[in-house]
Amino acid sequence: MNAVVDRGVATMNALCTIDPFLTGETFTMADIYVRYVLAVVGIGVRALERDIVGEIEGLGAWAERMAADPISQRVDADLEANRESFFAYVASMNS
């Protein structure tokens, strides 16, 4: 799994300018996608004891800006409220 994470980190560092958004000055679907993928990725990489946000230049400040956005806060609340049922659904797909 570390090799996959290494490739992902290298790709993000190569493709992202994060100034102020992932691909530059324009907010894109990449920002929305990565914001919520990081929530799921964060769970998986805890087992690897890695700080993915810290490994990608500028991603920490970007994540803070995104978390401060009112729309992000609303989606975060919905994500948290549905976390248990989502992971139960994911687990059922593997059985």
Q: CATH class for domain 2-93?
A: mainly alpha
Cα(86)–Cα(88) distance, integer angstroms: 5
Cα(43)–Cα(31) distance, integer angstroms: 19
pLDDT of residue 48: 77
pLDDT of residue 81: 93
- 9, 52 in Cβ contact below 8 A? yes
Residue 75: pLDDT band (50, 70, 90) is confident
Cα(78)–Cα(48) distance, integer angstroms: 27
Stretch 64-90: mean pLDDT, rounded? 89
Average model confidence (pLDDT) for the chain?
88
Stretch 17-34: mean pLDDT, rounded? 93
CA atoms within 13 A on the CB side of 3: 0
Look at residue 58 and tell me whether its pLDDT is greater than 90. yes
